[in-house]
């Protein structure tokens, strides 16, 4: 796949795939890992299975010619995989060491952290309307998810590492795609084997530290195997759609609209698992959805008011001829009149 063709329909399809697969995998994992289900308490190893299956799909895709492998330096792939796996491990440790309330707060903090990191790394600026809509989303999701908030030093350090590594990973997905003119699935197929290798080797030790149980001692049942297969299948769509969404939009947009999954999970938990849905939850979800609507409007308004910004539906890469023409044009323009920017996500 070359850089993905972008259209409103395909954009909606990418978001729909991410929301449906993410919510589906949460429901499957809830059944697999809960004590009322199959009590498979090995989250890091399960994530290793996810990436192993994703890597296998990528290998088959390349072998059949559906996708073409492009060159990305190995050191960048290893660096990205280490950051991504630090995100996964950090989140697991944060959930174990902190209360659920503080864990939710740390996840909410990713939106402002991504904004600051994009400003530092890519000199990206946001309009007042976008900033206000982000605040509304954070407040809404906070109201419907945050309950008790307890924290300790180890948990705080793990949460900080998790937030920073997750934010950096999501920003890196988009920047690597643009830097090497590589499609989302091609990038995923290159990083998935490395992530799988790290997680399958180190995951069982992390799980033992978290749960005090060895995966080798787990008695596998046919139901647990089916849940693992379902979880791995959904993980392929979830991973692919995440790379698609960040490649098409931005890490901030992915974080903001990604909270729609939180609303869906709460609603499905109430419908399927008899979870309690209070007035506070409902009000928080309404505020969060309102913030997402405002965010979408603010981003679109920002694009309309800044015509010099590259169109959202522009290609991710330029041909050598286009680069040569651009350089020739820039040589004839005084330096003070040149504005450098990047496509809005």
Cα–Cα distances (Å) from 76 to 14, 39, 81, 90, 185, in that order, read 26, 37, 8, 21, 17
Count CB-CB contacts under 10 A for residue 288: 26
Count CB-CB contacts under 10 A for residue 120: 9
Q: Provide the CA 194 distance to its chain's centre, in angstroms.
A: 18
Q: Provide the CA 152 distance to its chain's centre, in angstroms.
A: 26
Of 69-73, 110-114, 216-220, 253-257, least confident by mean pLDDT is 253-257
pLDDT tier, 233 (very low <50, low <70, confident <90, very high otherwise): very high
What pLDDT does residue 160 have? 87
Residue 217 carries which DSSP code? G
How many whole angstroms separate alpha carbon 66 and alpha carbon 60? Answer: 9
What pLDDT does residue 26 have? 77
Q: Provide the CA 330 distance to its chain's centre, in angstroms.
A: 36
User: Taking residues 165-187, what's their average pLDDT?
Assistant: 85
Residue 27 vs residue 300, higher pLDDT: 27
What pLDDT does residue 241 have? 82
What pLDDT does residue 109 have? 76
Query: Model-level pTM?
Result: 0.68
User: Token digits for 115?
Assistant: 């904004």
Query: 109-129 pLDDT, tens per residue?
Result: 777 788 788 888 877 777 777
User: Taking residues 65-79, what's their average pLDDT?
Assistant: 83
Q: Tell whether the model's pLDDT for residue 290 goes beyond 70.
A: yes
Report the number of secondary-structure helices (H) and strands (E) in the chain. Answer: 13, 0
User: Taking residues 42-65, what's their average pLDDT?
Assistant: 89
Q: Tell whether the model's pLDDT for residue 333 goes beyond 60.
A: no
pLDDT tier, 144 (very low <50, low <70, confident <90, very high otherwise): low
Q: Where are the domains of the chain?
A: 9-122+152-249
The pair phi, psi for residue 147, each rounded to 5°, is -120, -110
Residue 312 carries which DSSP code? T
């Amino acid at each position: 796949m070359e850089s993905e063709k972008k259209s409103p329909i395909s954009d909606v399809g990418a978001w729909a795939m991410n929301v449906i697969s993410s919510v589906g995998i949460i429901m499957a994992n809830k059944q697999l890992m809960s004590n009322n289900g199959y009590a498979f308490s090995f989250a890091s190893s399960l994530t290793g299975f996810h990436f192993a299956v994703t890597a296998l799909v990528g290998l088959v895709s390349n072998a059949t010619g559906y996708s073409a492998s492009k060159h990305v330096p190995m050191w960048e792939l290893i660096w990205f995989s280490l950051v991504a796996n630090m995100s996964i491990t950090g989140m697991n440790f944060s959930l174990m060491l902190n209360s659920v309330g503080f864990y939710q707060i740390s996840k909410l903090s990713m939106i402002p952290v991504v904004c600051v990191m994009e400003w530092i790394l890519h000199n990206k600026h946001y309009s007042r309307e976008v900033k206000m809509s982000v605040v509304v989303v954070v407040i809404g999701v906070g109201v419907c998810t945050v309950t008790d908030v307890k924290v300790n030093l180890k948990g705080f350090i793990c949460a900080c590492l998790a937030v920073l590594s997750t934010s950096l990973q999501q920003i890196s997905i988009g920047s690597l795609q643009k830097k090497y003119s590589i499609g989302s699935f091609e990038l995923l197929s290159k990083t998935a084997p490395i992530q799988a290798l790290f997680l399958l080797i180190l995951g069982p030790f992390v799980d033992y530290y978290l749960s005090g149980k060895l995966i080798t001692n787990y008695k596998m049942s046919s139901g647990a195997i089916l849940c693992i297969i379902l979880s791995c299948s959904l993980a392929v769509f979830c991973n692919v759609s995440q790379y698609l969404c960040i490649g098409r939009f931005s890490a901030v947009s992915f974080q903001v609209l990604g909270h729609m999954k939180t609303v869906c999970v709460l609603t499905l938990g109430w419908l399927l698992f008899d979870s309690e849905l209070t007035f506070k939850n409902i009000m928080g979800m309404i505020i969060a959805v309102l913030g997402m609507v405002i965010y979408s409007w603010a981003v679109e308004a920002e694009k309309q008011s800044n015509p010099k910004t590259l169109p959202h539906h522009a290609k991710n890469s330029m041909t050598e001829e286009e680069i040569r023409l651009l350089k020739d044009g820039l040589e004839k323009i005084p330096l003070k009149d040149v504005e450098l920017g990047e496509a809005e996500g």
